Homo-oligomer: A and B are copies of this chain.
Amino acid sequence: MKALGNHVLVEFYGCDSDILNQTELIEKEMTKAAILSGATVVSSNFHTFNPYGVSGVVIIAESHLSIHTWPEYGYAAVDLFTCGDSVDPWKAFKHLKNIFKSDHTATIEMKRGQLHDIEGELKHKPNAK
């Protein structure tokens, strides 16, 4: 089934809680995960929450990688949203699993923008800028 995007939703359970609270490290490793997966990094934007937790997004030319951490639960929610055939989100997954020392994970891989729902119903092409 052809689709425009591929979306891997990851639950990292049983992580190292101190690592999940280190914003600079998480930003560095999320960016590295994007590069390892073959993506082109456009920008990144991370925030630290009080008293615990980090939220951040790496925007890539091929969509985005996002993370929200709950250090007090040893849990991180990561989304690996990519498009095109050149990016392998599972390389990002493996890298982050190691970094966070997650002892078990749950993943769902979904297609986004299924072409059979799109074709034949275009209203018009946009005007390129």
Contacts and interface: CB of A to CB of B under 8 A. Distances in A.
Interface of A: 4-5, 7, 9, 11, 13-14, 16-18, 20-21, 42-43, 45, 47-52, 55-57, 59, 61, 63-64, 66, 68, 70-75, 77, 79, 81, 83, 106, 108, 110, 112-115, 117-118, 121-129
A106 B3 CA distance: 14
A66 B66 contact: yes
A42 B52 contact: no
Nearest to A110: B9
A96 to B, nearest CB: 15
B74 A123 contact: yes
A77 B81 contact: yes
A42 B51 contact: no
Given A51-B128, A123-B16, A4 B70 contact: yes
Contacts of A59: 45, 47, 55-57
22 contacts: A11-B117, A13-B117, A13-B118, A16-B123, A17-B122, A17-B125, A43-B45, A45-B57, A45-B59, A48-B129, A49-B61, A51-B129, A52-B126, A55-B59, A68-B83, A72-B126, A73-B115, A74-B121, A74-B122, A75-B113, A77-B81, A77-B112
